A and B are shown apart, each in its own frame.
Chain A
Amino acid sequence: MSKKIIPVGPYHPLQEEPEFFQLHVDGERVVDIDIIIGYNHRGIEKLCEMRTFDQVVFVVERICGICSISHPSASVNCIEDCARVTAPLRAQYIRMIIAELERIHSHMLWLGLAGHFIGYNTVFMWAWKYREIVLDIFERITGNRQSYAMFKPGGIRRDIKKEEVPKIINELGELERSLEMFRGAVLDDPVLHARLKGVGILTREDVITFSAVGPTARASGVAIDVRKDDPYFAYDKVDFDMIVTENGDVFDKVIVRVLEMFESVRIIKQGLTGMPDGPYDTPLKDMPPGEGVGRAEAPRGEVYHYLRSDGSNTPARYKVRAPSFMNVATNAVSAVGQSIADATLTLAAVDPCYCCTERMQAVDYKTRKKVYNWSDLVRLSQEKTQQLKKKF
């Protein structure tokens, strides 16, 4: 049979950054995949080198909007590591609370979009509806729904007021009830089991050779989590579990994310009650020449920042490595061997790498004739779910 190429991207109607996948297909099977990125490259590292250490945190906040606190987390860790200072304990607790709230909203967002991809638009709407609870909390305590500008080297910018605490805990209860509903919806639905199990398997060996991180790695049985391995903020003072599953398929990736949200709620509750009083900011005066490494566990995995300072007020080199950079590459193995209907889902399962396109077209390599477009492909995926639904 002749080999065909399906370009996926770089623009997608629904969401997320532009990325470009070329699926090489043989009939219904994906036999190879080319990943072309760079439609989003804005030269953040260079921009960081032009700015003072205080401003760097704002710059890295604009790397990603979904996890807009994970880069500042790594960044403040990195700058504090280089300057050899630690932020006060209260600041560490508040940072942790913000980071965990964000993990919930990010996982919810992903869950919703994953629901859309397999034709469960109800899940999409529900997930985004309950996500608003988190965004409301954010708006109250930080002043913005996203891009909170909360962190600064040496502390945080705003305190969480005492009277806020019971309100937040109350809202978390409401959130937990909706999470419970999601857990039920995922675990008890035979259609989802049939649709997602065994799809897009990423083996343990592949995770290691690609050095994948975050839920992508944990779903394949690789137990890595910066919060546990190299505790930052106040993560060593709270009790939570690392969720690890063994199979590495899309279903396990969903499970890891759903269960992680419960852990996040646990962490936030402990954080809010255990938060000590005291100062929440220490002024950072001088930056000695040297190096610093900052890590943080973003919703998608480990964020890695490396800083080199020459003693001036701007970094000499600022290196940012986002988790997706390692995770997207794994699609090169996990999507291969799948049918086209499953490939969209597999590409989406890593999380950031939505099959971003407005024209996902199957092009016959020789005649250049259009075979599928993007909506056909989502339809393919949704139809498969429908067929499975009928079976049950």
Chain B
Amino acid sequence: MKSLQEIQQICETMHPELELRHEGSTEAKSKYEKHVLICGGTGCTSSGSMEIVDTLNKELVARGLEEKIQVVKTGCFGLCALGPIMIVYPEGTFYSRIKAKNIPQIVQEHLIGGTPVKELLYDETVTDEGIKSLNETSFYKKQHRVALRNCGVINPEDINEYIARDGYKAIAKVLNEMTPEDVIQCILDSGLRGRGGGGFPTGRKWQLARTIVPDADQKYVCCNADEGDPGAFMDRSVLEGDPHVVLEAMTIAGYAIGATQGYIYVRAEYPIAVERLKIAIQQAREYGTLGKNIFGSEFSFDIDLRLGAGAFVCGEETALMTSIEGNRGEPRPRPPFPAEKGLYQKPTILNNVETYANVPQIILNGAEWFASMGTEKSKGTKVFALGGKIKNTGLVEVPMGTTLREVIEEIGGGIPNGKKFKAAQTGGPSGGCISAENYDVPIDYDNLIAIGSMMGSGGLIVMDEDNCMVDIAKFFLEFTVDESCGKCTPCRIGTKRMYEMLDKITKGQAELADLDKLEELCYYVKANSLCGLGQTAPNPVLSTLKNFRNEYEAHVLAKKCPAGVCKDLLQFTILPEKCVGCGLCAKNCPVHAISQGDYTAPGKKRAAFVIDASKCIKCGVCMSNCRPNAISRG
């Protein structure tokens, strides 16, 4: 148990250490000469960053440098495509895709010799004028980090480092200076809206939970960390990189609504996040920032973890609560809303991880500061998980109102291999595909809905000309069919029928009238489903029907897949004017569908090969083996 003064003392003592982690901060009075930060998030761990931490620690001990150089295992830096990532402060030099075998060289030349190993640095930071720091790269320059401010900066397993970055200062301010009503007013004024996708005003939710049942004997604060949208990993990164911020924010929420117990519902598929949350909760209990009479006040609050078990529908608020109660995670009709009857029929608020990550900063810096960022109706910043056909896959945080073009071209580095942008998918299975004509629309909650998509939790998957939009719609429908809980008929049967219709289209068996039928069914499912899963499941279909109708029509009328994805509609042909007659295609064909024909094109020495379409299984092996690129697909 620590008193407020002791916490302040830790903040002051630790401060110089954290100060060192700004580039060029030679003034910092750290105990160490250098800090080496290595990403311990899921992305970098998967590409071997823990081996690098071990090797580096051993190397430092072997050379007697462990007192001079501190190795810090952090959360996600965001640039997952370049992992494993290592940053050396105070210089801020940025090593990317390093391997354990590079460590002795880096220690010798850089940490001892003072000269960074140029060939191992992220290439964009190496310029003629010298080595640029991380924050000057195009990936980081346009970002504005609020929710992610500690990710990649602190050691998430050390509460002291969180405290050094003003951690637990907001809850201290709340308990000492603010009434619950003040807290709610502050969140209301900030304009913070739910980052899980719906965009409901957070302050309004808290206000309802505080007032709607005046004599409630028990209330609950829940955190939705069941990040199920495929391609979205921002919540995971916050939990892995800065778990204490969620605990602090939930405690603030507990004070605001009058709850004493919180639950974090987190995906079991995120083992690193679960582990760090467990450590954080234990440390917070030891320090007394969770538990009875926090900082000597009357207010007590504790948090427990509940692990999800792989059901997408549990991201829906009522389903999540049903699951915490130990049941099948099926949603229930609203009203009554959880603010009135939530977990165990008690008033409950549920916010998502990223929403909570903003709260302590709003309390400390004021509602006006937060409201100064973003657009008229969407304040603050939003974290996006960039994925798909994009150079810099990873996590970015930008002010609301940034355009898709800025995010994809400038921060994301554009589309690789010289391909053209075709669509960006936001909002996962609940969202839609945004076409190139909306490339310059400022991204916020309302604009995305206006163009037929939605914010969702913030997955942003980029697609190029090689992706078939009908196939993508089918992919999402397959997901929703699989994840539909089956409780209500429109969703259970409607999504299945939609999937079957899409399947027919991709097989070239549909007629034009089927497109209208499909659209009609979409609106029916949208209007009649019980919960958000079914109500939004048609979005991927509706948005692609609207923005890429010509592609649907090509499948239906010409029986062609313009992107060359839908196998049933594909045809491989060998162009005789390009074929050199080498026979590599025939040799590699798994079903012996290729043989030499008898036509020799002018100027060629040997007769061209031909594909027997009736035998071809459209595997594409011939194409990948053809050196003169003589095989066309279409």
Q: Do A and B bind each other?
A: no
